[in-house]
Structure 1
Amino acid sequence: MKTISRKEFIKTSSLAAGAILLANRYPNLNEEFPASDRLGRIAVGKVDIMLRPDYDSPSVGTYYEDTVVPWLREVIGPWPFRNNQRWVETEDGYIWGPNVQPVKNLLNLPIGAMPDGMEGIWVEVTVPWVNAILDNPPARSSWWRMQNSKNLPPRFYFSQILWVDQVKKGSDGNIWYRINERYGNPGDLFWAPAEAFRPISQAEVMPINPEAENKQIVVDVADSRQTLACFENGKEVYYCRISSGKIPNTTPLTAIGSDGFHIWRKLHSVQMSGGSNQAGWMIPGIGWVSFFYLEGIAIHSTFWHNNFGEPSSHGCINVAPEDAKWIFRWASPVTPYQEGDIVVSGKEGTPVKVVEY
């Protein structure tokens, strides 16, 4: 197989340049998705398809989890006592927006071998979902055991960030990547079709405005607001919606008079878990993670819901993938590309002020 040097890989993003929009069936993934520039994946067990964008509208059908549909447009319609009033129009009717993950269907040019001098590469899932094969059963993670209980194979979802540490050519001549989550993984290893994953170059994770002074993140967790803003010298430079802890007090507030918690650890990706063995949870491939409080509270990407603007998390600050990545690149400390992980102490990291206005 042809190899490329570590320098070539890091210096350029040519590995990702082969991404093309899929209009029909992609040969290695054994699944057909609608031919549309904009798609939506049903992120919950099932949703009603409504005749109108209104909770009181007649239902005209049902979509089940992981169904992928053309996302025609987003409209506003009533849903009492909810912050979110967003609905997605599909070819069959309207579905409530928070239950639909915005996705795309992009195929990538695989690498034939691991770049010289590199232990692995970071990749992003660029298709609605892709099935994988567990290389070392039985599954250790409760997430994968849950998938199995639904009679689903292991499956990775659009926007997840993962670590690939091996490349092989299958008997069918297609390239497969071995997915080995680098952080938080209890030991599960997977093989998946390489076309579903876009290699991430060093250039796209370079810091944003590293010379800017007095950076601060302000998160408003009030039920009616649910926002995050980034400031440089008191000037707002970024703003997005969030989802904080669904249960009261699971997202900690900053003490009065404090400049905020400080980001102490950042990771390209991590498998998160929490709760007890009986009632716990575990989610793999969470991208662009910035921990700011103790061991478990972070700002991070979210692929399992689209309910930004309402409390929905276990305590973390859930944001959309593109928002999480921007914040990750902008905030300190700077994360080494290959390691994808950094830990600092004291006030070295960007302060995060959590308020409830």
Structure 2
Amino acid sequence: MKLSRRDFLKLGALTLGSLGTLAFAPYPDPRDEREIPLLPIARIAVDRQAAIYREPREHSWVVRWTLQDELLNIYYTLTPPEGPAYNPFWFRVWDGYIHSAYVQTVYYRYNTPLESIPESGQLAEVTVPYTQAYQHSRAQGWQEHHFRLYYETTHWITDIVEGPDNRPWYQLTSEATDYLVYYVPATHLRPISPDEIAPISPDLPGDAKRIEISLERQFLTAYEVDKVVFGARISSGMGQKDVPVGTRTPKGEYHITSKSPSKHMGSLSASGAPGTYSLPGVPWTSFFIYESGVALHGTFWHNNFGIPMSHGCINLRNADAKWLFRWVTPAYEYPIADRFGWDVRGYGTRVSIK
């Protein structure tokens, strides 16, 4: 939808009026619904790599460079003939145009806190642009954690506590270790229901499903016998030589061996060392080389599908990764009996990478 000049100016005035708030808080106060933006918002996923241009083309004049986690109202989307062809989407923002490559489209959606949490944990999804995690101890009280949890990332809720604002906060526990615990406002996470992640085509024989991935085309195709049932653009491994861990997606024949609806990838701490990363809550992971951590999974740190972008995994849009998570075997059954059910392992769907 393209806005009229009058509507655009109105929205611009609202944006200017709220800049002070956005500079100091990643979300408006949920008690005042008038402050909740209704338009889609661009969250800048990288630092000083995404430019706002005067015109929607890469060789246009750069108005300014953006900062990671900066939030910009998106007024409309356009696809100019200059492309690029693999990802032609640009966004009109307040002071120009920004390409979608390093932009995560997000919304503010607040949730009613749960009253209790199962002992096995409750799977949930972040529904605000990002939420700042906190840690708590008797000695030091409430302190900011070094993690921010981003829109559509998934996490395991393990308790409800009274937060530093005297409201309900969720205790989140990493699937990687019970010792990694942090807290966020309960209104920022949406509990995921069993129906939402129920297996797709569960009655098909195991060998009736297969996935083919073309590294040349950067495209994934899912088959039931010989019928195409799903397709999606991907971003495979970049194959960087200066990174100590191999980052080229390996060609070959594999099978899904492990699935986790929420996975902490990389280091458990954000050290900032070259070649390292720490990504809590990577959604809808389906591993086909578990030993070296190569998987199909959702992505919130770029939106540049169609060219290699990863450390070796197959990056997918979150919705695409979720569909595949439900479709591939071994089947993930939810709700679960205990925390051993936070992942499932077995000899599953064939994955062919060419």
Work out the CA distance in 2 between the residues paired with 1:187 and 1:217.
36
Match of 1:181 among 159, 174, 180: 174
Matched with 1:215 is 209
Q: Distance in 2 between matches of 1:186 and 1:226?
A: 37
Could you say which residue in structure 2 is the equivalent of 1:324?
A: 321
CA distance in 2, matches of 1:153, 1:273: 14
In 1: Cα distance, 2:164 partner to 2:250 partner: 52
Q: Distance in 2 between matches of 1:164 and 1:60?
A: 42
Change (3 A) 1:250 1:79: farther
Over the residues paired in the alignment, what is the CA RMSD in angstroms? 2.7
Which region of structure 1 is more displaced relative to structure 2, 49-58 or 33-42? 33-42
| Unmatched tracts of structure 1, length 5 or more | 1-23, 138-147, 255-259
Q: 1:186 Cα deviation (Å)?
A: 7.9
- Over 3 Å counting, the alpha-carbon distance change for 1:172 and 1:92 in structure 2 is same
**Secondary structure of the structure 2 residue equivalent to 1:327:** helix
What is the correspondence of 1:41-60 to structure 2 with a 5 Å cutoff?
Answer: 41-46=43-48, 47-60=50-63
- 1:114-133 equivalent positions in 2, closer than 5 A: 114-115=117-118, 118-133=119-134
Partner of 2:13: none
Deviation digits for residues 51-86 of structure 1 (CA, Å, limit 9, x no counterpart) = 111111112233321111222333234779884333
> How many aligned positions are there?
303
- Counterparts of residues 20-31 of structure 1 (less than 5 Å): 25-27=28-30
Q: 1:231 to 1:201 in 2, by over 3 A?
A: same
Aligned partners of 1:187 and 1:278: how far apart in 2? 25
Give % identity. 35
TM superposition score normalised by structure 2: 0.78
The structure that is helix-richer by fraction is 2
* Residues 33 and 105, structure 1, Cα contact 8 Å, conserved in 2: no
Q: Deviations over 1:210-263 (max 9, x none)?
A: 1234111111111xx211111111111111110000117721111xxxxx3110
Equivalent position amino acid for 1:206 in 2: A
DSSP 3-state at the match of 1:162: strand
The CA deviation string for residues 278-327 of structure 1, in whole angstroms up to 9 with x for no partner, is 64333211111100124211000111111111100000000011000000
Deviations 1:194-215 (A, max 9, x none): 0000011111111011123411
Query: Secondary structure of the residue that 2:322 maps to in structure 1?
Result: helix
Question: Structure 1's 283 and 25: CA in aligned 2 closer, same or farther, altered over 3 A?
Answer: closer
Is the contact made by 2:75 and 2:91 (CA closer than 8 Å) also made in structure 1? yes
Aligned pair in 2 of structure 1 residues 45, 82: CA closer, same or farther (>3 Å)?
A: farther
Question: Are the equivalent residues in 2 in contact too, given 1:209–1:330 (CA < 8 A)?
Answer: yes
- Give the superposition deviation at 1:171: 6.1
Q: What displacement does 1:159 show?
A: 0.7
Give, in whole Å, the separation in 2 of the partners of 1:228 and 1:34.
37
Deviates more, 1:104-113 or 1:54-63: 54-63
The secondary structure found in structure 1 opposite 2:187 is helix
What does residue 88 of structure 2 align with? 85
Aligned partner of 1:141 in structure 2 is none
Contact 1:34 1:70 in 2 (8 A): no
2:42 aligned residue: 40
- Separation in structure 2 between the aligned mates of residue 309 and residue 250 of structure 1, nearest angstrom: 15
Q: Distance in 1 between matches of 2:89 and 2:164?
A: 46
Match of 2:251 among 245, 250, 253: 253
Q: Does 1:310 align with 2:310?
A: no
Give, in whole Å, the separation in 2 of the partners of 1:247 and 1:33: 44
Name the SS of the counterpart of 1:132 in structure 2: strand
Give the match for residue 189 of structure 2. 197
User: Aligned ranges for residues 286-305 of structure 1 at < 5 Å?
Assistant: 286-295=282-291, 296-305=293-302
> 1:99, 1:280 → 2: CA distance?
19
- Cα distance in structure 1, aligned partners of 2:319 and 2:307: 18
Q: In the superposition, relative to structure 1, how do residues 330 and 44 fare at CA in structure 2: closer, same or farther (>3 Å)?
A: same
Task: Check the 8 A contact 1:290/1:299 in 2, yes or no.
Answer: yes
Query: What letter corresponds to residue 282 of structure 1 in structure 2?
Result: S
Paired residues of 1:134 and 1:154 also in contact (CA < 8 A)? no
